[in-house]
Amino acid sequence: MSYAGPEFEPPRRPRRRPLTMALAALVPGALLGWVVYEGLGAVGDGDGGSESAAVRTPSATVSSATESSPTESSPADDEKPSPSPTTSSPSSAPAASGPLKDKVVVIDPGHNPANFQHTAEINRKVDIGTGYKECDTTGTSTNSGYTEAKFTLDVAHRMRTLLEKQGATVKLTQDGDRSYGPCIDERAEIGNEAHADAVVSVHADGSGTGNRGFHVILPGTVNSGAADTRPIVASSRDLGERIAGNFVRVTGSAPSNYVGDGTGLVTRKDLGGLNLSTVPKVFIECGNMRDTKDAAQLTSGTWRQKAAQGISDGIVSFLRA
């Protein structure tokens, strides 16, 4: 997502802190493995950039490709997403057996491919507890026009397939079956009403060139109006740390070089999707769509499968703990 949108304002620079012990304990060799991966000059890894790159640049705004209906050439076989059900229902039938039997996971694919056609609807203000923000945004895109909304839905489909194989019941907040949205408050409500054991909102960032890497956004402590995150802060951090560790391990991607001080973790209090959640929930920004090296990964079906696997492995680890 682009932080330029109303739901995604620039976060305050987080206080410097070491990589959490829980993340290190989860995958003790993950970050070390990435360093070796980087040193060997693997395809897709690149220059890290400085910490001062945390300041958002004008390129973080949504591109014109997001404002109009983008076209794409048909992907190669490895680019094609996992098949999705023909039903418009956002939920799946529970698997018969598996280690996650009786567990419910809600996947929230950020934005909606058709949001740009419904500006009046997505600009409607909704209550997020700490104030009011627009219902949704269009999201960002790569410079070539591959939209965040297409990316998030593709990764969500891949995650659903992986998690259902583990026996989980998987629900999506939207499956390309809505004309716009849902709004950020409804996205939170879907997870709450499902009594989800874990919710992950999938995004990709829209920062400046040279800003690279992923980060997981954790809910801060909020107790205001309709929002009370106090019961879920600790469990959400556990979920986020496990996802971050597994994302490094599976994708080989580095934590963000522009937010999070190298931890891959950022705490925020301004996102309605987190503020209004009553179940463990995190966001993940899988990379920066406006950086050419990150964009090369985000537009690769092979890499998106790895991203889905890393996020899913983190969810499985959390639910089996």
Q: Is 189 a catalytic residue?
A: no
Query: Tokens standing for 130?
Result: 């700490």
Query: Tokens standing for 105?
Result: 């996971």
Asked if 274 and 281 count as a contact pair (C-beta separation under 8 A), the reply is: yes
User: How do beta strands 223-224 and 227-228 pair?
Assistant: antiparallel
Asked if 229 and 219 count as a contact pair (C-beta separation under 8 A), the reply is: yes
Torsion 111-238-248-155 (CA) sign: negative
Query: Tokens standing for 195?
Result: 């009594």
Spatial separation of the C-alpha atoms in residues 196 and 234, rounded to whole Å = 16
CA–CA distances in Å: residue 216 to residues 98, 102, 226, 314: 27, 26, 24, 12
Name the catalytic one among 7, 164, 241, 285: 285
Q: What share of the chain is helix, strand, coil (3-state, %, to 5)?
A: 35, 15, 50
CA–CA distances in Å: residue 25 to residues 88, 126, 215, 318: 40, 39, 18, 13
Q: Give the active site residues.
A: 285
